[in-house]
Each structure stands twice: as C-alpha cells, then as structure tokens.
Structure 1
Amino acid sequence: MSQASQAKAMHDYFQSLLNDVGASDIKPEHIDMPLAVQPARVVEPELPVIESAVVTKERTQQLDQLLSTVSETIDVAVQQPVAVEVPVEEKAEQSVPEWKNITPEKEFPALFFVVSGITFAVPLTDLGGIHQLEKVTPLFGKPEWFAGVMTHRESQLNVVDSTTWFMPGQTNNEAYQYLIMLGESRWGIECHRLIGTETLHYDQIKWRDKPGKRPWLAGMVKDKMCALLHVQELLTLLQHGVNIDGQ
C-alpha cells in the first residue's frame, strides 16, 4: 500500500473516532505501519524505546485538521444559585458520576502497540502486564468481540478480539501475538505487534474534554497520529458487554 493510501486510511479511521461517528461506518484497510517494530520476546518484556518518527509538513497539516475536532466545548448558561434545601434522598439520586479524563504527570511513559495496522498507546501506569498469547478457549453466548478465556498461572483471563471491538465490520487477517492486560483487571486486549515504550509529554497529547460517544479515548498522540486509551472507561464498556459503538 502506498504512503498516501496509508495516511488516508489512518485519517479516515481517527476522524471517525474524534467526530463520534460509528466505527462500523469506517472500514480502514490493513496498514503496514511505517514505524520500526522492535521484537518483544516474552511475557512482560523490557520494551525498547521508540525512535522519533519523521513528520512531514503535509502530514502535520493533515494531523492538525484531524485533531481540530477533539477540543469540544460546551456552552453553559450561567444562572444565579437558588438557596433551596434538597432532601438527602434527592441529593443521592442527583449524584451522577461525571466523566473525567486521565490526569498523568507532565511526563509519563506509554506502551505503543498495533492492532490490524492501527497504532494505540496506553500509559504504563494503567498497564497490567503483557502476555504472549496462548490457547484461547471460546465461550458460548458471548459478544462477537469476546474471543474467550486464556489460562495464565491458574488465572482465567478475559480475551478481547481488538480488531472486532475497535473496528466493527473489519476482518482480522493476521494472527494475534500478545495480550495487553488492562490495569489490575482480568481483561486483556489482543494485539498483533508491540512497538515499544516512549516517554510522552503532556502537551504532546490532544486531550478530550468530554466523553462524547468515545469515553475510552483519552486523546490523540499528535506526532504519531494514534489513540491514547482511557483504560478505566474501556474496562467499564467491556464489563457492560458493549463494543466501541456501545453495542
């Protein structure tokens, strides 16, 4: 696939995420990512640092246009507070958990990995471990994206088919190699390749300020055009048995 085709496929996919368009409406082609893949050997390896990718002026302009939709603002009419005593029962009903984005340090390390040609990043503080994928036993009555369970050290790990979850309608044509564990949970998402780790600066991320239809998306790593995962929100969706489109 040409470099122009790769850029267009990534642009269309991430544009759908940032605009909260259903991912099933976008079917990105398999992309052979240009970043150098550093081989990972075993469970929980010490991963290499990614070399900085060369970003052309044209790609920068495309990325700026792509990311311009991330900063979402809400106009709220300001009203004078009314001193009304609300019963305790009503206060409890009104307390709805508010979506909050992740708040890492000014600099934080992240793991980069590839699913069907698309690169994702996860903060190392939210990474529960990396396992080489072994036998996965499917279970009946589960969603299509639930690949099954994998036994690891006498624990049953829930395995998510990442291509099916992140890109509904997209066919996975490559064997998964690793299982990326999410936080302290027993949920893991499959990936095809590990790229490595890199320390990110806070201002390298285009942060989301409200969940929209993608609460699992914390923001975009601007110079690499990849999604930064909000692990806790991703876990909430998985535990509720829904995919990227809430289905």
Structure 2
Amino acid sequence: MPDEKLTRLSDPASAIASYLDDLLHTATDSALLEESVVEAPAPEASPQVDEPPVPEPVIEKAPAPETPEPERVTGPQTELQPAASEPPSRPDWSGAPFECLIFTVAGLQLAVPLILLGAIHRVEEEIRPIPGSPRWYMGIRPDRDQNLRVVDTAEWIMAGRVPENARDNYRFVIRLDNSEWGLACDDVAQSFTLKPDEVRWRTARSKRPWLAGTVIDHMCALIDVRTMADLLVRAEREHHLDLS
C-alpha cells in the first residue's frame, strides 16, 4: 500500500532521496539485528564468606537404572526445506568479488551483477501494452529471439513515490538473466568490481525480498536478480495477465 506521507512529496528529488534513505535503513537495520545477538555477560561471583565446614551426610547411592538403547530408524529421513517464499540471505554469487553494472531509474541508482545480466536492449519501438495489467507492467517488447515482458521499474520498486512522467525517460530495458523479464531504465552507467565486504548484505528478506543489499560507496541498491524474476512470475500469475 503506498506510503501516504511520501505520496504527498511533490519534489521528485525529495521522493528519491527519501526512498534511497529507506533502502539504506532496510539493509542496515537487518545487519544490526544480526549483530545485536550476543552472549549475555556472566553474572558476577558473590563474595566468599568464611563459614564453618558442614559435615556431609552419608548417602547410600542406588544403582543407576539401565538406559534402553534408542530405536533405529530404518525408514527414509524427511529433509526440511526452506519456505519457497523466503530467498537466501546471501546470493550464491556473493562469496567472491564480482562485476556489477549500475543503471538509473527515475534518479535512483540500482546495480545488477553482470553474470546475471541477460542483455541490454534499447527502447526503439513502442512496447505493446496488455489490457487490464497493473501499473508496474508496461507490456511486451517484441523481439526476433524472445518476446520480453517489460516492467516499469519505478512503479515496481517505488510504488507511491514515483516522480511524475518517469516512464517518459525510459531508454533501455535490462533483461534479468535468462528469464522473460526486463527492467525498464533511464540510463546505463559504468561497470565495476565489488568485493563482498563492500556490500551491506541483508540477513532478512521479509521486506523487499529483491533487495540483496546496498553498496554504500555508490549509494545504490544491489538487486537479487533471481528473486526479482521469481517475484515477477508470481505477480504475473496472481494478476492472470493475458500475455498471448
């Protein structure tokens, strides 16, 4: 549900700054929550007081009862699986330095790992809209190899805080890995190498599951591409979009 307070922001720069600040807090709060789980300090020892020795009572020890051996389980073991809606706290590509590409959407900087960037297409032809589709769904971009489902990225990630006429500035579509989904964006900037410790990784994904973390030095949000694509597929099914 759109944030009523931020919906009233008339200045696009203020809306973008507020949203970026919210993203940074989302990642930082998640990390701080993990760091706050520490061991409680041991209680201080009470001062010793010299007391006269107390004779120990003589207690006859009864023989310990025999403990039966546990039964052997011969049937197959059931392996617990994580909930399908809960993405991993760290993507599998985050363990070593990786190349990233920055792109901009309505003044907001986002980043995707190059290993999961399917392609970059120019918006040269009009994207075919789908009747009855939600605001975040721009439509289909015909292609000789594969039709691409194009997302209004600003509406998808900044609902309620999107600057007016943001869609008019879209010039590129970034395809997510080998999926049929593409994110519309204004511009594509430079690529760079990121070390894992340069990212404030999230440890919980209950809010904005697509946000893997934030790159503080570049003031941008790092996208978990596979989770983003999964969320779009789920949203497509929920809205029963006719994509034929």
TM-score range, shorter chain: 0.5 to 0.7
CA distance in 2, matches of 1:206, 1:237: 22
Say if 2:112 is the partner of 1:122. Answer: yes
Verify: 1:168 aligned to 2:159, yes or no: yes
Count of aligned pairs: 186
Shift of 1:11: 4.6
2:147 to 156, 162, 171: 156
Instruction: Tell me, in whole angstroms, the C-alpha distance in 2 between the residues paired with 1:130 and 1:86.
Output: 54
CA deviation vs aligned residue, 1:207-230 (integer Å, no higher than 9, x gap): 111212111001000111110000
Q: Does 1:146 align with 2:137?
A: yes
Contact 2:23/2:221 (8 A) holds in 1? no
Cα distance in 2 between the residues matched to 1:207 and 1:159 = 27
Question: Which protein is bigger by CA-based radius of gyration?
Answer: 2
What is the Cα deviation at residue 198 of structure 1? Answer: 1.0
- Normalised to the residue count of structure 1, the TM-score between the two structures is 0.65
Q: Which residue of 1 aligns with 2:65?
A: none
Structure 1 125/85 Cα, relative in aligned 2: closer, same or farther at 3 Å? same
- Residues 10 and 139 (structure 1), Cα distance of their counterparts in 2 relative to 1, 3 Å cut: closer
TM (norm. structure 2) is 0.66
SS of 1:209 mapped into structure 2: coil
Q: Where does structure 1 lack aligned partners over 5 or more consecutive residues?
A: 21-66, 77-81, 243-247
C-alpha change, 1:87 and 1:147, in structure 2 (3 Å) is: farther
TM-superposed CA distance for 1:95, in Å, is 2.3
**1:114-165 Cα shifts (integer Å, max 9, x gaps):** 0000000000011001000132101123222110001112421100011111
Is the deviation greater in 166-175 or in 115-124? 166-175
* 1:8–1:150 distance in 2 versus 1, CA, 3 Å: closer
CA 1:209–1:112: 2 relative to 1, 3 Å: same
Task: Report SS of the residue matched to 1:99.
Answer: coil
Q: Contact between 1:145 and 1:165, CA under 8 Å: does it hold in 2?
A: yes
Q: Deviations over 1:12-31 (max 9, x none)?
A: 213333555xxxxxxxxxxx
Task: For 2:107 and 2:169, locate their aligned partners in 1 and report how far apart those are by CA, in whole Å.
Answer: 12
Tell me which residue corresponds to 1:214: 208
Give the alignment's Cα RMSD to 1 decimal: 3.2
Specify the alignment match of 2:45 in structure 1: none
Say if 1:144 and 1:68 are closer, same or farther in 2 by CA, change over 3 A. closer
Task: Mark the runs of 5 or more structure 2 residues left unpaired by the alignment.
Answer: 1-10, 39-69, 237-244
| 1:25-82 deviation digits (Å, cap 9, x = unpaired) | xxxxxxxxxxxxxxxxxxxxxxxxxxxxxxxxxxxxxxxxxx6324032969xxxxx9
Q: 1:95 aligns with which of 60, 78, 81?
A: 81
Distance 2:74 2:20 in 1: 44
Kindly, what percent of the aligned residue pairs are identical? 34
Does the aligned pair in 1 maintain the 2:30–2:204 contact within 8 Å? Answer: no
